[in-house]
């Protein structure tokens, strides 16, 4: 584990990296990790992907994606967002959390690049950001998007019956936040962005996305009941000035982008780890991983 310092406190981070040492399978929470712990990193300078988990998630929520990327020459850094994770979700939905998440990524990236051991094995010219759900929102803000809170207010007024779950959260505005835009922390070191089932709901208008200039890949879950179409992923894809690499994952629910869990851990976790009939999370992820790798190799070439 790696830790980064931030105004919100110490941020625990998971770090995956390529190695020539053989991987071993071990249990970690609900997942089976297949890694070589504390192995010697493969020689050379490696591209890096910084990953932002969803609201109430953990740094391990996309562990199988991280394993795949490490097997293909990438390092992956996954910070655990303060006050919006599985262990402490006290800030869920607040303007503070929505605003600070992109800063958490910057703090984590600063720390790993400045570290005497890790900084020298990262190719600082080949860094991408990836996120799921609110992490997708975070990834977009990290590459230049400015959340349009006035657009969110309009969405809450007009689409409550069509985007019921998301509107019910009353995110950002419930605590009285009334500015037009939400301050976030962009980072020019990112050369590509991948957003899976990202949050929008009016937050990402054409004007709020106009400063994004890096390649963007977006995935939408066809049967997402948390972030209903067309108010989130599709809205973002439509408003990006340069377009994007846009995918719709058939039969997927919102949480289908989380890594697959062990069979014996699935009975009590509901839709977080269980999918609709006809959807095999592991098989679908293996296809998505190849698409991610192709996108990254091209965007960071």
**Alpha-carbon gap, residue 270 to 169, rounded angstroms:** 20
The CA-atom distances, in angstroms, between 56 and each of 105, 217, 223 are: 16, 23, 21
Give the model confidence (pLDDT) of 206-258 as tens digits: 999 999 999 999 999 999 999 999 999 999 999 999 999 999 999 999 999 99
Give the model confidence (pLDDT) of 86-126 as tens digits: 999 999 999 999 999 999 999 999 999 999 999 999 999 99
CA 13 to chain centre: 14
Q: Is 17 helix (H, G, I), strand (E, B) or coil?
A: coil
**Alpha-carbon gap, residue 204 to 199, rounded angstroms:** 9
**Residue 166 host element (H or E):** helix 164-169
Q: Is 39 helix (H, G, I), strand (E, B) or coil?
A: coil
Count of domains observed in the chain: 1
pTM value > 0.85: yes
Instruction: Give me the domain span that covers residue 221.
Output: 2-299
Give the model confidence (pLDDT) of 171-214 as tens digits: 999 989 999 999 999 999 999 999 999 999 999 999 999 999 99
Structure tokens at 166: 């998301």
Which pLDDT score, from 0 to 100, does residue 264 have?
Answer: 87
In this predicted structure, the answer to whether residue 42 has a pLDDT above a threshold of 80 is yes
Q: Which residues in 190-284 belong to E strands, given as ranges?
A: 192-196, 216-221, 245-249
**Alpha-carbon gap, residue 135 to 141, rounded angstroms:** 10
Using left for φ > 0, alpha for ψ between -120 and 50, and beta otherwise, residue 63 falls in alpha
Q: Is 83 helix (H, G, I), strand (E, B) or coil?
A: coil
Q: Show Cβ contacts of residue 186 under 8 Å, excluding neighbours closer than 6 positions.
A: 102, 141, 142, 143, 144, 145, 211
Instruction: Tell me which long-range contacts 237-244 makes (C-beta under 8 A, separation of at least 24).
Output: 239/204, 239/205, 239/206, 239/208, 239/209, 240/209, 240/212, 240/216, 241/206, 241/209, 241/210, 241/212, 242/212, 242/213, 242/216, 244/215, 244/216, 244/217, 244/218
**Among 129-143, 180-194, 270-284, the least confident range:** 270-284
- Could you tell me the CATH number of the domain that includes residue 219? 3.40.50.1820
In this predicted structure, the answer to whether residue 268 has a pLDDT above a threshold of 90 is no
Q: Are 199 and 137 in contact (CB under 8 A)?
A: yes
**Alpha-carbon gap, residue 222 to 201, rounded angstroms:** 17
Which pLDDT score, from 0 to 100, does residue 263 have?
Answer: 87
**Alpha-carbon gap, residue 271 to 254, rounded angstroms:** 9
Pairing of strands 46-52, 31-35: unpaired
Structure tokens at 81: 């967002």
């Amino acid at each position: 584990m790696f830790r980064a310092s931030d105004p919100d406190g110490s941020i625990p981070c998971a770090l995956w990296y390529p190695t020539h040492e053989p991987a071993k399978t071990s249990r970690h929470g609900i997942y089976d990790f297949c890694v070589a712990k504390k192995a010697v990193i493969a020689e050379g300078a490696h591209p890096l992907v910084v990953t932002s988990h969803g609201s109430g998630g953990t740094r391990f929520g996309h562990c199988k994606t991280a394993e795949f990327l490490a097997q293909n020459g990438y390092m992956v850094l996954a910070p655990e967002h303060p006050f919006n994770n599985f262990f402490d979700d006290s800030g869920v939905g607040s303007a503070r959390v929505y605003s600070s998440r992109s800063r958490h990524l910057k703090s984590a990236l600063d720390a790993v690049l400045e570290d005497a051991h890790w900084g020298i094995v990262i190719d600082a010219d080949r860094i991408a950001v990836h996120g799921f759900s609110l992490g997708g929102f975070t990834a977009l803000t990290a590459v230049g998007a400015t959340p349009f809170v006035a657009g969110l207010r309009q969405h809450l007024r007009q689409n409550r019956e069509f985007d019921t779950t998301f509107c019910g959260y009353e995110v950002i505005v419930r605590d009285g936040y009334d500015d037009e835009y939400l301050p976030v922390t962009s980072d020019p070191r990112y050369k590509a962005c991948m957003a899976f089932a990202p949050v929008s709901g009016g937050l990402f208008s054409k004007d709020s996305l106009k400063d994004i200039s890096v390649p963007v890949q977006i995935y939408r879950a066809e049967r997402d009941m948390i972030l209903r179409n067309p108010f989130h992923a599709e809205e973002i894809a439509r408003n990006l000035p340069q377009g994007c690499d846009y995918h719709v994952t058939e039969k997927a629910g919102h949480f289908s982008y989380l890594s697959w869990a062990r069979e014996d851990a699935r009975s009590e976790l509901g839709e977080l780890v269980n999918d609709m009939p006809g959807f095999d999370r592991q098989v679908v992820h293996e296809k998505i991983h190849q698409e991610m790798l192709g996108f990254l190799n091209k965007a960071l070439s």
